[in-house]
Amino acid sequence: PDVFRGEGLGVVLAACAQLGAANLLRAISQPVGPKASIAEEWQAMACRLPAKLPKEERDSLRAAISLTDRSGYFELSRCPINAEIEQRMEQISSLVSGEEYARSFNPGLYSCARCGHALYAHTSKFTGPCLWPSFRAPLEVSSLHTIAVAQGAYNHYSCSVVELYCAGCSLFLGHAFEDGATTGDTHPDARWRHCVLSLSLQFAWDVV
């Protein structure tokens, strides 16, 4: 394809540093509209990944934090969050949970892992471009506490961005981006993409 020729190749190589293989292939396969440049398409699909940790630090974190004991993870959380703590929570969530909820579409309810406050229904999930699970909207407006981020201040996103916290206990959950309609959500109500850390969530199956 033309994306691999001339300047397009440089765009692809730069994006590889941020995208996993699956997201890379998906981004390449997405048609670019007549008014969108290749660079704009990559910007829309790119997702910043957690910084890698050395093996000794990974082993130490696994020994201290687990799916059954997340207290060390919870203690890190702040409201409002700062970049250093956010990255640390991303690293721990990815390491401990494997971001398992990103691949799960089982019927049920996602609640706050710390206080049990109901946050998201499985029906609002969709496959987004991120490592973390993507949701269209919260269960209720009252489910979340949000803080608006200044435009362009978060990873140079040009869309609106808000920080997400549990309304019950203020546990940091992730961010919401107003780009859902262009990053994988095909629902008629597509607008926001809630990118949430799996370790901040607890899933309960629907009882049939």
- In contact, 134 and 185? CB cutoff 8 Å: yes
The CA–CA distances, whole Å, from 57 to 33, 54, 63, 86, 167 equal 44, 5, 10, 17, 32
- In contact, 173 and 166? CB cutoff 8 Å: yes
- Strands 108-112 and 172-177: what pairing? unpaired
Which strand (E) or helix (H) includes residue 135? strand 134-135
Read off the tokens for 144: 């979340």
Q: How many C-beta neighbours within 10 Å does residue 6 have?
A: 9
State the catalytic residues.
195
Q: How many C-beta neighbours within 10 Å does residue 35 have?
A: 6
Return the axis-axis angle of helices 7-16 and 38-45, rounded to nearest 10°: 10
CA distance 118 to 111: 4
